């Protein structure tokens, strides 16, 4: 979870000459207000935001509403029963025909405080990354400057409170410079993204007019590993399963019954092995790839144009091989994947005992690509289990079922969300690429990210297009301990948001 | 771990007409002293005896010495540094040419008190098994009788303190009846059997003269599942391994890297699958069976003569199939086995996260049969891993090793002990069978048990033969919670021990 590309981290911050007028205004404003901007982010980071901590999540929502109201943005909390609210904000632009929606999320992943160098909700600035010996430094005095290679440590510093503060600072800069905004602007800040956006689609659908827009810019995720700005036009979907197979009713003595009582760990091992080809690493589940929408020529070209990162990543991750060769990581994440998240049967190592386990479980995730559905993926997996000789159930089987069938497997769908991918050659897409490149130079455009974002839920509920604009450093320890935001990424993000807020959609 | 064969449990206690004079004397003595015998066992059971609890284990040893000294047996504690002592006892018989050694162990498996109906070291009598609604009943008043279907609940009630008390009661009975003992008698009661008898061979070898004998009767293990008396002429050995394979250095996001970073859980699944044939269930590791000593015609006949139990066990264990068909359980446990004790990689179910695991581990046990060695088993397993394309290490590999090899596996031997099997047609074996049958009627003689006992250590250190004489009920919950001893088994055991103490070895 820590893609710290050692070599790349040594690159100095490259500050581009700025030609986009809004971005230039943002740079000037930021240079005069570094301390205030960082302080506004630190104040927000000091409010605990683990998705399940509803009381504190509500405090975050209130705080974000106040940040917007201080800037004259009309705000509203949108929710349904049992959900953390969406914080909605709107700036109408008289005469504008188009509406741009900026999305970010203000909730964060669970924290394990003992694994953090400093408490996750007591933000601190360090002069560099902890793994490079970073020490805590004071935030500059008012009017002072902050080392752009310093980093802000706190849960959600990068994922995903930084874009919220960057948007606010960009808006301040635009106004201070007297620049015009061309579109209606809406802000939707979600409070449940880290728990799978379970209520997002429902909340959007119930407030269709309020959240209507032409394009959602989803400000989430890290930049490309070379620190180049990226634009991502889609996200894979996901379907998560628990798969359990059964041995004897209770654990049996492996001496008394070994060779005779079927071992469920071996049975699971065989079943998992049957799912992927050991040479091509392709999924062998029949029909798995049937719905996949192929990449367009433009999408293939974009992938080919992205800087090569595989060798550097292999060093970083201590890998002696990769799957799916000769294809690269960027190619492979445009394909569906079947991954074992975890596997468990009885106990191992010093806690292992002399037994034949009673059951064995694997948790799987399938990453879906555009046009694949969760339901059909479940169907083809079930059919695969049957082909392997298993009687398939969806709840724990009793004695009757287990006595009647030589092999029984339980397959339970835990969660499903479908993929989305916006065409890179739509006029709206080209405008975004042009705007981003005017601020950040040559960018890395990719048809999809490998991970999941609620793009599909947004598109289905609102009919809008979605494009992902990342801001955080790739080495931000997202979802892990010691999450951090490199300050230069915040500065760059403010300039980028200023340009996007002021761009004209044709 | 609970072979409760429901149908068989309903059989009433069958009390055989007794023709062996020592057994008859034992019955009469027991009938007059039921309360005292059970109280002596309960007193011993009240001393906690988990192998690692050295202080209490020592209290057990002292208590057993006192039990023997009260009966005029010369005693001695035998130990080496760091070991729980062997309690040794000796009764010399003037003019005897042969020496019989009775072995049992006084240590017990760890306990999880919350899983016990009553505390494991506060022995109670119940009128029947807990799973049949057994309620606590008082032990009979002095001179009263105890229901033979009642059960004594405590850790080690069956495994393995019952034989110690049965031997003492049998000796009391023999003396009360004025019967002669034909051989020198030695007692060796071990205090580390449940931790693998790590020091047994060393202690015996260092006291070779003291423990010398012609035949060791190893009083341990449960009776056959039909409640028939069994005589077991050997035990499988064991070799336990941890097998670990590696993925990325740390867990990686399955969205960002799924399809590209090799998944160690899948790698382990493939490796485990490669080890056994899915049709024959034979081990596919080359050379695995090379050293196996075939069964003799007599051993094969003994297995064929044993009552069929597979169908009943399948019902009991909820099994819809068994491995190694058409062979039966009794046949299969004479063959070596390769078993997965447990398997682990990252987390499953509600604690699973969206990652590619960093490693995957299985703990394996190989059950060895006569002539197989631990070292060669380790060698053939290593060779198998190499054939599957793995670079094999025996300690955690660093970055250099993992970058240099597409697949790396760590194989660590945790424990090894070899098998032993005494020929069933030796004169000494025939004498034991004849004596046991004179007490207990038709017995089930089997060439080996599936589990491991330190027979090999005893034979190697002392040069003696070993034969296993079980006493406990098969449904005793050995190693688990609510371990118990059926009182009829104790009564039968006293009669059997009396006959064995007085038998004449030619």
Give the CA-trace dihedral at A107, A109, A115, A119, to 10 degrees: 10
Asked if A332 and B270 come within 8 Å (Cβ–Cβ), the reply is no
Q: What percent of chain B has pLDDT over 90?
A: 92
Number of other CB atoms surrounding residue A226 within 10 Å: 17
Q: What order of strands is seen across the sheet that includes strand B151-153?
A: B136-137, B124-126, B151-153, B484-486
H helices present in B322-396, as ranges = 329-332, 374-387
pLDDT tens digits for B165-191? 999 999 999 999 999 999 999 999 999
Return d(Cα A481, Cα A221) in angstroms, integer: 17
Residue from B317, B334, B401, B482 to probe the interface with A (highest A Cβ count within 10 Å) = B317
Asked if B246 contacts B264 with a C-beta cutoff of 8 angstroms, the reply is yes
pLDDT digits (tens, 9 = 90+) for A227-253: 999 999 999 999 999 999 999 999 999
- Interchain CB contact of B296 with A (< 8 Å): no
Per-residue pLDDT at A10: 42
> Residue A353's pLDDT is what?
87
Confidence of residue A18 (pLDDT cuts 50, 70, 90): confident
Contact status of B238 with chain A (Cβ, < 8 Å): yes
Residues 303-342 of A with CB under 8 A from B: 310, 314-324, 328-329, 332-333, 335, 337, 339-342
- Is the CB of B341 less than 8 angstroms away from the CB of A324? no
Locate A129 and state its tokens. 């990354």
B:248-287 residues touching chain A, CB 8 A cutoff: 248-263, 265-266, 268-270, 272-273, 276, 278, 281
Three-state SS across A188-205? EEECCHHHCCCCHHHHHH
Band of pLDDT at residue B36, cut at 50, 70 and 90 = very high
Partners of residue B67 on adjacent β-strands: none
Please give the pLDDT value at position A3.
Answer: 41
All domains of chain A in start order, with CATH: 7-235+420-501 (3.40.630.10), 237-292+335-417 (3.30.70.360)
Residue, of A396 and B19, whose pLDDT is higher: A396
Q: In the structure encoding, which two tokens stand for residue B91, read together? A: 């009764």
Q: Which residues have CB under 8 Å from B66's CB, separation 6+? A: none
Residues of A in contact with B448 (CB under 8 A): none
Average pLDDT in the B262-272 region? 98
With a cut of 70, say whether residue A15 has pLDDT above it: no
Q: What is the pLDDT of residues A56-77, one digit of tens each?
A: 999 999 999 999 999 999 999 9
pLDDT band at B11 (very low <50, low <70, confident <90, very high): very low
Q: Kindly report each contact of residues B30-33 with a partner whose C-beta sits within 8 Å and lies 24 or more positions away, as own/partner.
A: B30/B169, B30/B173, B30/B491, B30/B494, B30/B495, B31/B145, B32/B143, B33/B169, B33/B172
**In which band, very low, low, confident or very high, does the pLDDT at B8 lie, cut at 50, 70 and 90?**
very low
Contact at CB, A269 and B340, closer than 8 angstroms: yes
Mean pLDDT confidence for B234-247: 97
Nearest to A361 by CA among A338, A339, A344: A344
pLDDT tens column, B38-64? 999 999 999 999 999 999 999 999 999
Rounded-to-integer distance, Cα A361 and Cα B265, Å: 12
**Can you give the pLDDT at residue B506?**
80
Q: List residues bridging with A101 in a β-sheet.
A: A186, A216
Who has greater pLDDT, B70 or B8?
Answer: B70
Contact A317 B355 (CB under 8 A): no
Phi and psi, residue A444, nearest 5°: -100, 110
Out of B310, B339, B360, the one facing A356 most closely (by C-beta) is B339
With CA atoms as reference, the chain B residue closest to A225 would be: B256
Q: Tell me the mean pLDDT in the region A174-179.
A: 98
Query: With contacts defined as CB-CB under 8 Å, which chain B residues touch A324?
Result: 259-260
Which pLDDT score is estimated for B17?
74
What are the residues facing A415 on neighbouring strands? A240
For the segment B200-224, the average pLDDT, to the nearest whole number, is 97
Burial code of B408-428, b = ≥16 C-beta within 10 A, e = fewer? bbbbbebebbbbbbbebeeeb
Q: Which of B197, B263, B341, B408 to mutate to test the interface with A (most CBs of A within 10 A)?
A: B341
Instruction: Please give the backbone phi and psi of residue B345, each rounded to the nearest 5 degrees, phi first.
Output: -155, 120
Chain B residues close to A321, C-beta within 8 Å: 262, 406-407
Percentage of residues in chain A having pLDDT higher than 90: 93
Element (H, E) at B190: strand B184-190
CA distance B499 to A150: 85
For residue B285, pLDDT beyond 60: yes
Q: Per residue in A411-445, is it b (16+ CB within 10 Å) or e — as a string?
A: bbebebbbbbbbebeeebbebbbebbbbbbeebbb
Q: How far apart, in whole angstroms, are the C-alpha atoms of residue B286 and residue A421?
A: 50
Min distance A500 CA to chain B CA atoms (Å): 26
Q: What is the pLDDT of residue A14?
A: 55
- How confident is the model over B252-281, as a mean pLDDT? 97
**pLDDT for residue B12 is more than 50:** no
Closest of A464, A480, A360, A357 to residue A408, by C-alpha:
A360
Distance CA A430, CA A436 (A): 10
Whether the bond between B160 and the residue before it is cis, its omega within 30 degrees of 0, is yes
Give the pLDDT band of residue A446 (cuts 50, 70, 90): very high
Tell me, letter by letter, the H, E, C secondary structure of A90-140.
Answer: EECCCCCCCEEEEEEECCECCCCHHHCCCCCCCCEEECCCHHHCCCEECCC
Q: For residue B68, is pLDDT > 80?
A: yes
- Pairwise CA distance, residues B335 & B421, whole Å: 12
Per DSSP, chain A holds a count of helices (H) and strands (E) of 17, 21
Complex ipTM: 0.91
Instruction: Name the residue with tokens 């098998």.
Output: B419
**What is the structure's pLDDT at B110?**
92
Mean pLDDT of A271-296: 97
Q: To probe the interface with A, which of B266, B306, B328, B404 has the most A CB atoms within 10 Å?
A: B266
Instruction: Calculate mean pLDDT across residues B365-369.
Output: 97
* Res A323 pLDDT > 70: yes
Mean pLDDT across the stretch A361-374? 97
- Average pLDDT over every residue of A119-126: 98
Query: pLDDT band at residue B4, thresholds of 50, 70 and 90?
Result: very low
Assess B119–A contact: CB distance below 8 Å, yes or no: no
pLDDT at B7: 41
Tell me which residue of B483, B476, B473 sits closest to B115, measured CA to CA.
Answer: B483
- pLDDT score of B14: 56
Alpha carbon A208 to its chain centroid, in Å, reads 24
Q: How far apart, in whole angstroms, are the C-alpha atoms of residue A214 and residue A466?
A: 9
In degrees and rounded to multiples of 5, residue A360 shows phi and psi of -145, 140
Q: How far is A416 from chain B (nearest CA, A)?
A: 13
User: Which letter does DSSP use for residue A13 in this model?
Assistant: P
Shortest distance between the Cα of A36 and any Cα of chain B, in A, equals: 34
DSSP state of B424: T
Give the integer Cα–Cα distance in Å for A493 and A166.
6
pLDDT digits (tens, 9 = 90+) for B496-505: 999 999 999 9
Return d(Cα B26, Cα A379) in angstroms, integer: 68
> Whole-number mean pLDDT of chain A?
95
**B365/A270 CB distance under 8 A:** no
What is the nearest CA distance from B356 to chain A, expressed in angstroms? 6
The residue of chain A with its CA nearest to that of B361 is A348
8 Å CB contact of B252 and A479: no
Which residues in chain B have Cβ-Cβ distances shorter than 8 Å to A316?
249
Q: A451 at the B interface (CB within 8 A)?
A: yes
Mean confidence (pLDDT) of chain B: 95
The verdict on A242 touching B (C-beta cutoff 8 Å) is yes
Specify the pLDDT at position B142.
Answer: 78
Residue A61 is predicted with a pLDDT of 98
Cross-chain CB nearest to A342 (options B346, B399, B450): B346
| Candidate from B252, B321, B360 with C-beta closest to A1 | B252
Please indicate if any CB of chain A lies within 8 Å of the CB of B15: no
Token output for B32: 């007059």
The answer to whether A68 touches A168, Cβ cutoff 8 Å, is: yes
């Amino acid at each position: 979870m820590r893609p710290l590309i050692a070599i790349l981290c040594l690159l100095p911050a490259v500050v581009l000459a700025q030609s986009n007028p809004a971005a230039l205004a943002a740079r000037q404003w930021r240079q005069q207000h570094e301390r205030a901007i960082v302080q506004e982010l630190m104040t927000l980071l000091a409010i605990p935001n683990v998705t399940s901590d509803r009381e504190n999540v509500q405090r975050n929502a209130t705080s974000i509403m106040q940040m917007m109201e201080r800037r004259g943005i009309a705000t509203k909390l949108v929710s349904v029963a049992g959900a953390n609210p969406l914080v909605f904000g709107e700036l109408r632009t008289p005469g504008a025909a188009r509406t741009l929606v900026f999305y970010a999320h203000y909730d964060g992943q669970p924290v394990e405080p003992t694994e953090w160098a400093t408490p996750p909700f007591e933000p601190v600035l360090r002069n560099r990354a902890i793994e490079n010996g970073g020490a805590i430094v004071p935030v500059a005095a008012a009017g002072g400057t902050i080392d752009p290679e310093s980093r802000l440590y706190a849960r959600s510093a990068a994922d995903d409170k930084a874009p919220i503060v960057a948007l606010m600072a960009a808006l301040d800069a635009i106004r201070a410079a007297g620049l015009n905004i061309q579109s209606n602007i809406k802000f939707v800040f979600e409070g449940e993204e880290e728990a799978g956006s379970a209520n997002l689609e429902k909340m959007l659908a119930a407030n269709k007019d309020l959240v209507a827009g032409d394009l959602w810019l989803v400000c989430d995720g890290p930049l490309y590993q070379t620190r180049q700005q990226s634009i991502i036009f889609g996200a894979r979907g996901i379907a998560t399963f628990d798969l359990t197979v059964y041995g004897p009713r209770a654990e049996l003595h492996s001496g008394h019954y070994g060779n005779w009582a079927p071992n469920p760990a071996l049975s699971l091992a065989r079943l998992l092995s049957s799912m992927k080809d050991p040479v091509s690493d392709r999924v062998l589940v029949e029909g798995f790839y049937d719905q996949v929408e192929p990449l367009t020529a433009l999408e293939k070209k974009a992938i080919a144009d992205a800087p090569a990162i595989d060798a550097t990543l292999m060093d970083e991750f201590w890998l002696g091989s990769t799957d799916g060769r000769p294809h690269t990581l960027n190619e492979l994440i445009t394909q569906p994947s079947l991954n074992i998240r975890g596997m468990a049967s009885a106990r191992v190592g010093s806690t292992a005992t002399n037994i034949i386990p009673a059951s064995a479980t694997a948790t799987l995730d399938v990453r879906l690509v555009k046009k694949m559905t969760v339901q059909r993926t479940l169907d083809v997996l079930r059919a695969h289990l049957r082909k392997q000789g298993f009687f398939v159930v969806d709840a724990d089987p009793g004695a009757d079922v287990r006595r009647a069938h030589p092999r029984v497997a339980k397959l339970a769908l835990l969660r499903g969300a479908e993929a989305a991918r916006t065409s890179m050659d739509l006029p709206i897409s080209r405008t975004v690429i042009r705007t981003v490149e005017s601020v950040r130079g040559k960018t890395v455009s990719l048809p999809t990210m490998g991970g999941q974002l609620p793009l599909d839920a947004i598109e289905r509920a609102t009919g809008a297009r979605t494009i992902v604009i990342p801001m955080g450093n790739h080495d931000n320890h997202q979802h892990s301990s010691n999450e951090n935001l490199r300050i230069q990424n915040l500065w760059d993000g403010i300039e980028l948001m200023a340009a996007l807020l002021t761009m004209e959609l044709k």
